[in-house]
Chain A
Amino acid sequence: MTEPFAKRGEMDQGVLRFAWYSLVLVAKGYTLALVIGTPLGFLLGLSKLFAKGFDPLIQILRPVSPLAWLPLGLVLFEKSAPAALFTIAICAMWPTVLNTAMGVRAIPQDYLNVARVLKLSGPQRLFKILLPATLPYMFTGFRLSLGIAWLVIVAVEMLTGAPGIGGFLWQEYNSLIYEHIILCIVTIGVIGFVLDLGMSMVERRFRTA
């Protein structure tokens, strides 16, 4: 409690040290979610056929609880760390996918006409028109995704017992140290808030329109 960064043993570390492990895992899973989710969103937004085919699948996968994905991840990867990554990525990517797709569909016809009249090449069209026009929607998705990733990590760690803020929380519950449970909850809340704040700052930095 008084030494938040101390490391005394595998499951005997300071709360912020545990939180740091969780953050690293979240960062990896979140990156994976964005790397998969953004192009997927673009495809969904650009192609009506693709959207029609994939929308039902997405609507079914989206509401699945993180706790349901984790066992599948454990079966597939046989280790808790990649399973956690898998769970974070697959739960966190939906807001990015859906918002990006919505943003692409919301691009004013005017801009697309400009691209056609000026005969822009594929990459020019993507980087000068599609991407900047979609950016505000994408960031809304990114922000929601980050929130979900942080929610998921706690649940995942409670199940896997891996060293992290969620694992620590569960361990302290088992050790009946209630004040540490409260400490964990507060820490999780504050970190979530800081993450969201950081994201909105990045969003403002990249504001296009």
Chain B
Amino acid sequence: MAFLELQNVSKGFGSGRQRVSVLRSVDLSVARGEFVAVVGYSGAGKTTLLSLIAGLLRADAGQLTLDGREIREPGPDRGVVFQSYSLLPWLTVEQNVALGVDSVFPDWPAEKRRDHVLEYIALVNLTPARHKRPAELSGGMRQRVSVARALATNPAILLLDEPFGALDALTRATLQGELEALWARDKKTVVLVTNDVDEAVLLADRIVPMTVGPGATLGPAIPVNLPRPRNRKAVNHDARFKEVRGRVIEYLLGPARRRPTPVSPSLQEAYA
């Protein structure tokens, strides 16, 4: 059995006639140390999928297991980076990161916990800003804090929910590079959901496209056999990069849309 295993998972919201099926019979296997990207349209149910793995939501049907154990509730073995950063505005960078560390390693002496917190803040290059509050930070810095907070609890798997969606293109590129470096450092298992195909190709070992909702499910996985580290500039001209990107987009614009859904012409042009 794979490290993370989803079998026939379904989830809907509401009841009676108002009931909307969001995910229908989703299967997904992620190996230990693998970086998997789930790519799909906005509103398809990507966040729902991630919330199920995080244990924030319970599936209506199907099975989710992590390392052989059923996922029933959130746990420190799964670190989550939310799209909206979700930093607590009344705590400083250091306190935000410490929040998780103190909770997950209560037996450690205070000194060790503090060193651990500072180590992860240094890892995301925020040491000079560690006494600042989130409101004083830029979007990219905030998301770095969020990544540090998730990593500092030493989770077995990292769940990223469109982590760079709210950032400008340049900051996004920087953070993608940093994320790849972090991942290369300790080869954590990562599930990234995103609507950015380039981001998925740049970061993932395997891309799983998601069909359009309601009742979304996952399409056939597309492996990304590009050498790492992947240089964003070089990779743009790489034939293999273009090929993988092409296959993902082809699936998303084709089989992923069983029903005709309007896709803006600009998007089609951009990917043509």
The answer to whether B103 touches A132, judged by C-beta atoms less than 8 angstroms apart, is no
CA A209 – CA B133 in complex, angstroms? 10
Q: Which of A120, A124, A128 is most buried by chain B, counting CB atoms within 10 A of its CB?
A: A128
CA A119 – CA B180 in complex, angstroms? 27
Q: Which of B84, B100, B103 is most buried by chain A, counting CB atoms within 10 A of its CB?
A: B103
0/1 per residue, B82-113, Cβ < 8 Å to A?
10101011110000000110111000000000
Q: Which of A111, A118, A132 is most buried by chain B, counting CB atoms within 10 A of its CB?
A: A118
Contacts of B73 in A (CB 8 A): 116
Contacts of A121 in B (CB 8 A): 103
The answer to whether A114 touches B56, judged by C-beta atoms less than 8 angstroms apart, is no
The answer to whether A117 touches B80, judged by C-beta atoms less than 8 angstroms apart, is yes
Given contacts A116-B74, A118-B153, contact A110 B90 (CB under 8 A): no
From the candidates B56, B84, B90, name the one contacting A117 in the complex (CB within 8 A): B56
Size of the chain B interface, CB-CB below 8 angstroms? 24
Is B78 in the interface zone, CB < 8 Å from A? Answer: yes
The answer to whether B104 touches A128, judged by C-beta atoms less than 8 angstroms apart, is no
Contacts of A111 in B (CB 8 A): 86, 88
Q: Please report whether the interface of chain A is mostly helix, strand, loop or mixed according to DSSP.
A: helix
The answer to whether A132 touches B100, judged by C-beta atoms less than 8 angstroms apart, is no
Contacts of B80 in A (CB 8 A): 113, 117
Q: How far is the CB of A204 from chain B (nearest CB, A)?
A: 14
Identify which of residues 83-138 in chain A touch chain B, using a CB-to-CB cut-off of 8 Å.
Answer: 110-111, 113-114, 116-121, 124, 128-129, 132
From the candidates B54, B82, B89, name the one contacting A208 in the complex (CB within 8 A): B89
The answer to whether B88 touches A117, judged by C-beta atoms less than 8 angstroms apart, is no
* Chain A residue, CB-CB nearest to B91: A128
The answer to whether B78 touches A117, judged by C-beta atoms less than 8 angstroms apart, is yes
From the candidates A110, A119, A132, A208, name the one contacting B86 in the complex (CB within 8 A): A110
* Chain B residue, CB-CB nearest to A121: B103
CA A113 – CA B86 in complex, angstroms? 9
CA A165 – CA B84 in complex, angstroms? 53
Contacts of B79 in A (CB 8 A): 117
Contacts of B62 in A (CB 8 A): none
* Chain A residue, CB-CB nearest to B155: A117
CA A114 – CA B89 in complex, angstroms? 13
Q: How far is the CB of B40 from chain A (nearest CB, A)?
A: 21
0/1 per residue, A43-67, Cβ < 8 Å to B?
0000000000000000000000000
Contacts of B100 in A (CB 8 A): 118
The answer to whether B82 touches A113, judged by C-beta atoms less than 8 angstroms apart, is yes
Contacts of A118 in B (CB 8 A): 76, 99-100, 103-104, 149, 153
Q: How far is the CB of A141 from chain B (nearest CB, A)?
A: 19
Contacts of B102 in A (CB 8 A): 124
Is B75 in the interface zone, CB < 8 Å from A? Answer: yes
Given contacts A116-B74, A118-B76, A132-B90, contact A110 B82 (CB under 8 A): yes
The answer to whether B56 touches A113, judged by C-beta atoms less than 8 angstroms apart, is yes
Q: How far is the CB of B240 from chain A (nearest CB, A)?
A: 36
**Chain A residues within CB distance 8 Å of chain B:** 110-111, 113-114, 116-121, 124, 128-129, 132, 208-209
Knowing that A114-B86, A119-B74 touch, tell me 20 more A-B residue pairs with CB under 8 angstroms: A110-B82, A113-B80, A113-B86, A114-B82, A114-B88, A114-B99, A116-B74, A117-B56, A118-B99, A118-B103, A118-B153, A119-B75, A119-B76, A119-B103, A124-B103, A128-B91, A129-B88, A208-B89, A208-B90, A209-B90
Nearest 3 A-B pairs (CB), nearest first?
Answer: A208-B90, A110-B86, A118-B100
